[in-house]
Amino acid sequence: MSVTAPNNEITVERRHPLIGAEVLGVDLARADDDACNRIREIWMRHPLLVFPDQPISDAEQIAFAKHFGALEVHPSVEHRSSRHPEIYRVANVDEAGRLLPADKPAAKYLGLTWLWHTDSSFRAVPSLGSVLHGIEVPAEGGDTLFANMYAVYDALPAEMRRRLAQLRAVHSHDYVMSLTDGLAPADDDHFTQLDAVSHPLIRRHPVTGRRSLFISPHTMAGIEGMPDSEARALFDDLIAFATRDSFVYRHKWRPHDVIMWDNRCTMHAVMPYDAANARRVMHRTTIVGDGPVLPA
Ligand code: OGA
Ligand code: MN
């Protein structure tokens, strides 16, 4: 049962040494400005927050997320809720509750969340943070992994940090789809069109001032001024480094967990599950970024 408690009763407990903290003592359906200010403070110290047992409605989730900024509408038309365009349905069932056949583009697009990524890295202003409500979760698999990219940056050799600080990666929404057979990019009926953009590989967080490695493997098409083969080799090294176990929290979902992460200093991936048979329904609200990515 979620409880309403005065803000001073909000408690925080780490779930991982670097990333992932559980927040208790707040009812997200009724969180007011004071509670959200308190949550924001906690969030800046723990880039991934877990709020267990929060059976909120879509409208309540939208109201909660709006305390942290305006909300994005996701470019994939098929994954938007028909009632609330700000809800991105990370779900392997359609709105009528039917499992999506695995060969349907909507199912394949969803499969891209199994790759490490940062939400909306394909936008000129990537997302600030995301709030995800786990509504139906599979008994096995489908955990979500989160990497703390501050810690990744801090652990990089100094020479590599200096080198990366000079570089900008090119990010493209269509790159994601070019990775997958049967997903056609650039189709107005299914996806809002977005031009490729570039972002610094090392970014500075506008609130904490800390530096982090900014990579998003599913949208990174190359590095400005670098041959593709060299860029790809560098990406592969950085992805392998950033996803080492020590940087990563693994979230095992329970129904009605609500989690929120800061996209300005984390990266995430969904672990495989039996998507053809096991239902997994998550509703995401995505907070619009607070400006272009700040270089180091
Ligand atoms: C997301 C995503 C995470 C999940 O919602 O941004 O990548 O656990 N999915 O489904
Ligand atoms: Mn995501």
pLDDT in tens, 167-184: 999 999 888 788 777 786
* Among 81, 110, 132, 135, residue to substitute to test ligand 1 (most atoms within 8 Å of Cβ): 132
Residue ranges lining ligand 1, Cβ < 6 Å: 90, 113, 119, 130, 132, 144, 268, 270, 282, 284
Q: Identify whether 33 is part of a domain.
A: yes
Degrees, nearest 5: CA angle 44-71-53: 60
Mean pLDDT of 46-70: 98
Q: Please check the confidence at residue 101 and state whether its pLDDT lies above 80.
A: yes
Decide the pairing of beta strands 129-136 and 258-262. antiparallel
Ligand 2 center–CA 6 separation, angstroms? 32
Q: What are phi and psi of 101, to 5 degrees?
A: -60, 140
Q: Identify whether 129 is part of a domain.
A: yes
Q: Higher pLDDT residue, 176 or 8?
A: 176
Decide the pairing of beta strands 21-24 and 48-51. parallel
Ligand 1 center–CA 196 separation, angstroms? 22
pLDDT score, position 186? 56
Ligand 2 center–CA 41 separation, angstroms? 23
Tokens of 184: 């056609």
Alpha helices in the chain (DSSP H): 33-45, 58-65, 105-111, 149-155, 158-164, 173-178, 228-242
Ligand 1: residue whose CA is nearest its atom 7: 113
Q: Higher pLDDT residue, 206 or 185?
A: 206
On average, the pLDDT of the chain sits at 93
Q: Identify whether 161 is part of a domain.
A: yes
Q: Identify whether 3 is part of a domain.
A: no
Tokens of 119: 């939400």
pLDDT score, position 177? 80
When pLDDT is cut at 50, 70 and 90, the band that residue 102 belongs to is confident
Tokens 């809002």, residue located: 192
Q: Identify whether 6 is part of a domain.
A: no
In 3D space, the residue among 209, 215, 225, 76 whose CA is nearest the CA of residue 156 turns out to be 215
Which CATH number characterizes residue 240's domain?
3.60.130.10
When pLDDT is cut at 50, 70 and 90, the band that residue 3 belongs to is very low
Q: Identify whether 4 is part of a domain.
A: no
Burial of 98 (0-12, 13-18, 19+ CB in 10 A): exposed
Ligand 1: residue whose CA is nearest its atom 2: 113
Q: What is the pTM of this model?
A: 0.94
Q: Higher pLDDT residue, 202 or 106?
A: 202
The pLDDT tens digits of the residues spanning 108-136 come to 888 889 999 999 999 999 999 999 999 99
Q: Identify whether 225 is part of a domain.
A: yes
From the CA of 282, which ligand is nearest?
1
The pLDDT tens digits of the residues spanning 24-51 come to 999 999 999 999 999 999 999 999 999 9
pLDDT score, position 2? 44
From the CA of 272, which ligand is nearest?
1
Domain extent at residue 162: 11-290
Give the C-alpha separation, 17 to 249, whole Å.
9
b (16+ CB within 10 A) / e for 252-269: ebeebbbbbbbbbbbbbb
Share of the chain above pLDDT 70, in %: 95
Q: How many domains does the chain have?
A: 1
Q: Higher pLDDT residue, 285 or 77?
A: 285
Q: Identify whether 26 is part of a domain.
A: yes
